[in-house]
């Protein structure tokens, strides 16, 4: 985590989802550290990363929850979907099975997030052209049919990684500007201007609200 | 939101996995999966008693289920750090890293725990300072009272 708690005006919550071994953690690492992890072990449960970016002159802190792809974590990782403003859904262009499972990931995402959540489809490992198992056209069509943003990227070379994270933020920011995203809704996944350090914790605040509820 | 040491499980999630675990417990047929899912929620509770309970379950899993040991170690570290048992938490991190030295997830957890310790160390000094001031004030009051007599 970098810098102090004050130098940004928004916090966006992201989740990264997709089958095991598609490179979710490597994408996150490439985005936050600008480095490629060659030997990436399976993520346990969820991993967390942050980075401050700029969209239309506004500093935005991305809080990114990178979920484990292994099936045995699936039941609990589902609870991290809630309140995500952006969802990066990843498959591996060299393994068709990871592409075939997208509809199940998409169903989960739609069911567990809100209608304004921006879903970005990422075909990772596009540096491995020789082993390609899913064509760009096919995935692009799937994305279009389902109203998803789409890009092929490589966590290894860094190609399009930055773009995917930034485009998602731009789209979210646009929704805020257009008034389509209600900042006051607890599950919007967006927080505006944290005022005090230590209070910028959405789940704590939600919890507090629930506890104060007289019902 | 925040990070792995401060995010809070939603009460309905905790309840959901608690129910599954208790149903299995009632049938005397608890799977490591149900036990782990419940423990994973417990260690993310805002109540230290829940976290303690989660730690007990994870310790039991660690002893009896070889398959998920790296997961159990990781959440044992998180649970202990959340109830400020930092020495224990760092011990679990060390055991993990002795098996998988380069694991980025664990290295970052270690940094987070250390940061949390430092932060609380500073707060500890403030509290001690505040207590000293209070003692000073009491002495002052005592002296004033003595003078009045």
User: DSSP string spanning A157-177?
Assistant: T-TTHHHHHHHHHHHHHHHHH
Structure tokens, B50: 């829940």
Q: Name beta bridge partners: A52.
A: A61
What average pLDDT does range A138-154 have in this prediction? 98
Q: For B2, which of A25, A29, A201 is closest by C-beta distance?
A: A201
Residue B58 sits at the chain A interface (C-beta within 8 Å): no
Task: Answer whether B100 sits within 8 Å of A46, measured CB to CB.
Answer: no
Answer yes or no: pTM beyond 0.90: no
- Which of A47-51, A130-134, B120-124, B138-142 is least confident? B138-142
pLDDT value at position A180? 85
Which residue in A14, A31, A203, A213 has the most chain B C-beta atoms within 10 A of its own C-beta, making it the best mutation to test that interface? Answer: A203
Question: Per CATH, is A10-192 categorized as 3.40.50.300?
Answer: yes
- Report CA-CA distances (Å) from B131 to B37, B72, B126, B127: 42, 40, 9, 6
Residue B1 sits at the chain A interface (C-beta within 8 Å): yes
Q: Is the pLDDT higher at A198 or at B125?
A: B125
Smallest CA–CA separation between B72 and chain A, in Å? 9
β-bridge pairing A10-18 and A58-67: parallel
| Residue of A85, A63, A109 lying closest to A201 (CA atoms) | A63
Q: For A204, which of B8, B75, B104 is closest by C-beta distance?
A: B8
What average pLDDT does range A69-91 have in this prediction? 95
- Residue B28 to residue A97: CA distance in whole angstroms: 37
What average pLDDT does range A108-135 have in this prediction? 97
Yes or no: say if B52 and B76 are a contact pair by the CB < 8 Å rule.
no
CB pairs under 8 A between A and B: 68
pLDDT value at position A107? 97
Smallest CA–CA separation between B106 and chain A, in Å? 10
Structure tokens, A155: 């966590």
Q: For B8, which of A11, A39, A207 is closest by C-beta distance?
A: A207
Task: Answer whether B102 sits within 8 Å of A39, measured CB to CB.
Answer: yes
Task: Answer whether B3 sits within 8 Å of A25, measured CB to CB.
Answer: no
Find the helix or strand (DSSP H, E) in which A137 lies: helix A136-145
pLDDT value at position A207? 42
Within 13 A of B123's CA, how many CA atoms are on the CB side? 6
- Residue A24 to residue A22: CA distance in whole angstroms: 6
- Which of A19-33, A91-105, A138-152, B1-15 is least confident? B1-15
End-to-end, the C-alpha distance of chain B in Å comes to: 58
The band of B72, judged by pLDDT with boundaries at 50, 70 and 90, is very high
Q: Which residues contact B19 (CB under 8 A, 6 or more apart)?
A: none
pLDDT at B26 over 90: yes
Task: Answer whether B8 sits within 8 Å of A79, measured CB to CB.
Answer: no
pLDDT at A209 over 50: no
Q: For B6, which of A76, A82, A201 is closest by C-beta distance?
A: A201
The DSSP letter of residue A140 is H
pLDDT value at position B125? 63
Q: Is the pLDDT higher at B94 or at B140?
A: B94
pLDDT at B96 over 80: yes
- C-alpha dihedral, A15 to A19 to A21 to A26, nearest 10°: -20
- Residue A54 to residue A74: CA distance in whole angstroms: 32
Task: Answer whether B37 sits within 8 Å of A76, measured CB to CB.
Answer: yes
The band of A9, judged by pLDDT with boundaries at 50, 70 and 90, is very high
Q: For A44, which of B2, B37, B105 is closest by C-beta distance?
A: B105
CATH number of B11-122: 1.25.40.10
- Tens digit of each residue's pLDDT (9 = 90 or more) over A158-204: 999 999 999 999 999 999 999 888 887 777 889 887 554 544 444 44
What average pLDDT does range A40-65 have in this prediction? 95
């Amino acid at each position: 985590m970098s810098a102090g708690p004050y130098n940004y005006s928004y916090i966006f919550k992201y989740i990264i989802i997709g089958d095991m071994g598609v490179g979710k953690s490597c994408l996150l690492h490439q985005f936050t550290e600008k480095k490629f992890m060659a030997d990436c072990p399976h993520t346990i449960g969820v991993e967390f990363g942050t980075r401050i970016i700029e969209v239309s002159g506004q500093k935005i802190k991305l809080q990114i929850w990178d979920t484990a792809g292994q099936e045995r974590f699936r039941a609990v990782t589902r609870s991290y979907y809630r309140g995500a403003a952006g969802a990066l859904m990843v498959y591996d262009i060299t393994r068709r099975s990871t592409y075939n499972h997208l509809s199940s990931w998409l169903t989960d995402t739609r069911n567990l997030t809100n209608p304004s959540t921006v879903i970005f489809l990422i075909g990772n490992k596009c540096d491995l052209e020789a082993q390609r198992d899913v064509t760009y056209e096919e995935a692009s069509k799937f994305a279009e049919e389902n109203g998803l943003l789409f890009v092929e990227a490589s966590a290894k070379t860094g190609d399009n990684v930055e773009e995917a994270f930034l485009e998602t933020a731009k789209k979210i920011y646009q929704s805020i500007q257009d008034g389509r995203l209600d900042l006051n809704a607890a599950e919007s996944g967006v927080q505006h201007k944290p005022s005090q350090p230590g209070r910028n914790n959405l789940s704590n605040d939600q919890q507090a609200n629930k506890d104060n509820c007289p019902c | 939101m925040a990070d792995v040491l401060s995010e809070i499980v939603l009460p309905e999630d905790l309840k959901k996995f608690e129910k599954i675990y208790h149903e299995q417990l009632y049938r005397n047929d608890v799977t490591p999966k149900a036990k782990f899912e419940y423990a994973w929620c417990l260690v993310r509770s805002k109540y230290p008693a829940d976290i303690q309970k989660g730690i007990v379950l994870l310790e039991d899993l660690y002893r009896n289920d070889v398959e998920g040991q790296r997961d159990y170690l990781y959440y044992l570290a998180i649970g202990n750090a959340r109830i400020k048992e930092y020495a224990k938490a760092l011990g679990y991190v060390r055991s993990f890293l002795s098996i998988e030295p380069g694991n980025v997830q664990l290295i970052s957890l270690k940094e987070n725990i250390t940061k949390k310790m430092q932060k609380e160390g500073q707060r500890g000094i403030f509290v001690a300072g505040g207590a000293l001031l209070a003692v000073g004030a009491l002495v002052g009051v005592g002296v004033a009272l003595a003078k009045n007599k």
